[in-house]
């Protein structure tokens, strides 16, 4: 009887050790959804817009969000910086796209408007094998807390591995 109780507690401990990993993963997922709803989706809509006016409205939402959330400079990387994770360049590029849209006058020809929208689309969207993806630095949804998520994930992966081993060891039948 004592052995079964000890076995049960080790199983419970294994599960408890895994929970922080799941919690951090869930928090990261929620932050990604929140960013997509507040900003990323508007970038996609601006890239898909059929009129300069629609694209301008969407880009204003994007720039306002980035500036209110202080996503105007820095890097999303933790260990070393790479150009694709430069928030300052990304922000400046988006802001200059909005400025180009705002320069459009009523007398601008349809061809010029189409060219502006095509250029905007190329700036905002990347074409991947799985379809179109919004151009944004990796990890932007959790910025400026990228180091917390990175090191927390590393720690919790180790702990979760230990928890899985505990569960596996003590769920084997006794022979």
Q: Return d(Cα 40, Cα 59) in angstroms, integer.
A: 11
More confident residue, 35 or 4: 35
pLDDT in tens, 112-167: 999 999 999 999 999 999 999 999 999 999 999 999 999 998 998 898 888 888 77
**CA angle, 45 as apex, 145 and 138 as ends, to 5°?**
25
pLDDT in tens, 18-67: 888 899 999 999 999 999 999 999 999 999 999 999 999 999 999 999 99
Residue 141 DSSP one-character state: G
Q: Both tokens of residue 40?
A: 């990323």
pTM: 0.85
52 with 104: CB under 8 angstroms?
A: yes
77 with 93: CB under 8 angstroms?
A: no
Residue with tokens 């179109």: 132
Q: Return d(Cα 125, Cα 62) in angstroms, integer.
A: 14
pLDDT for residue 14: 79
Residue 81 DSSP one-character state: -
Domain boundaries, the chain: 2-171
Per-residue pLDDT band at 76 (split at 50, 70, 90): very high
89 with 83: CB under 8 angstroms?
A: yes
- Where residue 172 falls (left for φ over 0; alpha for ψ -120 to 50; beta otherwise) is beta
Q: Both tokens of residue 41?
A: 């989706």
């Amino acid at each position: 009887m004592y052995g079964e109780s000890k076995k049960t507690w080790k199983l419970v401990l294994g599960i408890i050790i895994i929970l922080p990993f799941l919690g951090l993963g869930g928090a990261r997922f929620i932050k990604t959804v929140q960013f997509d709803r507040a900003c990323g989706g508007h970038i996609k809509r601006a890239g898909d817009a059929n009129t300069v006016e629609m694209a301008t409205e969407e880009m204003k939402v994007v720039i306002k969000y980035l500036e209110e959330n202080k996503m105007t400079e820095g890097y999303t990387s933790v260990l070393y910086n790479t150009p694709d994770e430069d928030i300052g360049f990304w922000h400046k590029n988006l802001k200059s796209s909005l400025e180009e849209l705002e320069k459009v006058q009523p007398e601008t020809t349809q061809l010029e408007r189409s060219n502006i929208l095509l250029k905007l689309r190329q700036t905002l969207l990347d074409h991947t094998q799985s379809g179109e993806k919004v151009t944004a630095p990796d990890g932007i949804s959790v910025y400026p807390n990228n180091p917390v998520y990175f090191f927390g994930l590393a720690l919790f992966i180790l702990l979760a591995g230990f928890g899985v081993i505990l569960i596996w060891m003590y769920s084997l039948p006794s022979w």
